[in-house]
Structures are given as structure tokens and as C-alpha cells.
Structure 1
């Protein structure tokens, strides 16, 4: 597997409109909407995603790690002692899975498609 790095952080946003407006105003960030309850920056560096769908949102900020081979990354997470908390699924722009590390922190791993 090539170098993996955190390139995205998702935040739960129970008041989606207010949270989106806050980040746009506080930091002059341009956010792209992907449906009525998801928006993100698209700078290509470490981007921020906001999810207003509380059924889909994590309970805390969710670091997201970019990889070149999603299945290989999942196998390595399992082999290292991680627990898969959400199996591989597709979303607009790619596929990902969620896992918990030995300390209980939830992270996601994704591959652009």
C-alpha cells in the first residue's frame, strides 16, 4: 500500500445550515453542496466535510484517511487489531469503510473513484 494520509475530517452538524454558514463566515471557506445535508471544502489539502444527516453522522469528528487500495487497507486494519465499524460502501466520489482503533477512536478510510 502506498503512503496513506489524513486528507479529510467530517464533522456532525445537527444544525446543518447554521454550521455551514459559520465555517463560511468564520474562515471564508467555500463549501460545495452534495445534497441537502452534506457540504465540504474541496481544496485538495485537508478538507472539511459537514454532515447534517444525524443518522449517518459520527458522534465525533471523523478523520478520513486516503489510500490507493481500499481492500488492502481494510485487511491491514483488521490484521493490526482494528475493528470494522462500517463495511465498505459507495458514496458520490468514491468508496470507504469505518473502523475503530484499539483505543475506541473511529476513523474512516477512503479511495476516490
Structure 2
């Protein structure tokens, strides 16, 4: 028997802006499944965004998806240039450093680095 996480889904009120943000910032690839769903790949873990007026944040008890980067400061700049907002600036924790950001549909994610 095998059990592992292999797919994650997010709500998104602006699928086009969300797709553009993740494509530009992280190089994710997208496939459209009708007007209300886009799937992403090339991210380390595949998933999708479905059209909804909800969003995920740590403050509301949501799971925090964390992306790895070996160039944390440059990734923070890319996030901002692509229209994301920084919700927690770079901080240290045992094992590395990270920051949190909000993508155009309001979902909070983080980026971490061990260097």
C-alpha cells in the first residue's frame, strides 16, 4: 500500500492573473480545463486552481504551501515584480530563511532557502 500527497488545489477568484503570476515568477506550466479550472505543473507538486471567491491564509488556519528557492532575495523581487505582495518579509528559522507572499487571487504561500 502506498500513500503520498501528489496534488494540491487552491481557490482563485482571478484565474488569469494567478496563472500569469505563477508562470512569470516560478515558471509553472498551465493547462485549462474549461473556464473555471486551470491545472499547473513544473512546480515540484502538481495541482490546480478552481474559480471561487475564497483564498487561503495562515491567519485563517490554512495549510501553508512552501516553495524552495536557492536565491531567496531574487525570488522575493520576482514575486513583487509579478504583482505579488509580501505578507512577511524574510526571516530566519532553524534550518534556513523564508518569506510569505500573497498572490493575485489572495492565497498566501511562502518561499524558503537553506542558504
TM-score (normalised: structure 2)? 0.49
Over 3 Å counting, the alpha-carbon distance change for 1:85 and 1:100 in structure 2 is same
Correspondence for 1:72: 74
**What is the DSSP-based 3-state SS (H/G/I as helix, E as strand, rest coil) of the residue aligned with 1:107?**
strand
Select which of 80, 86, 92 maps to 1:84. 86
Cα distance change, pair 6–93 in 1 and its aligned pair in 2 (3 A): farther
Distance 1:2 1:82, change over 3 A: closer
Could you report, residue by residue, the CA deviation over 1:51-74 in whole angstroms, capped at 9, with x for unpaired residues? Answer: xxxxxx922011000001000000
RMSD across aligned positions (CA): 2.7
Runs of 4+ in structure 1 off by over 3 angstroms are: 1-7
**1:58-97 deviation line (CA, Å, top 9, x unaligned):** 2201100000100000000000000000000000000000
| Cα deviation digits, residues 7-49 of structure 1 (max 9, x gap) | 7xxxxxxxxxxxxxxxxxxxxxxxxxxxxxxxxxxxxxxxxxx
Match of 1:105 among 79, 104, 107: 107
Determine the structure 1 residue equivalent to 2:49.
none
Unaligned 5+ segments in structure 1 are 8-56
**Distance (whole Å) between structure 1 residues aligned to residue 101 and residue 65 of structure 2:** 11
Gaps of 5+ in 2: 1-24, 28-41, 46-56
Q: How does 1:35-46 map to 2 (within 5 A)?
A: none
**8 Å CA contact 1:85, 1:99 repeated in 2:** yes
Tell me the CA shift for residue 5 of structure 1: 4.4
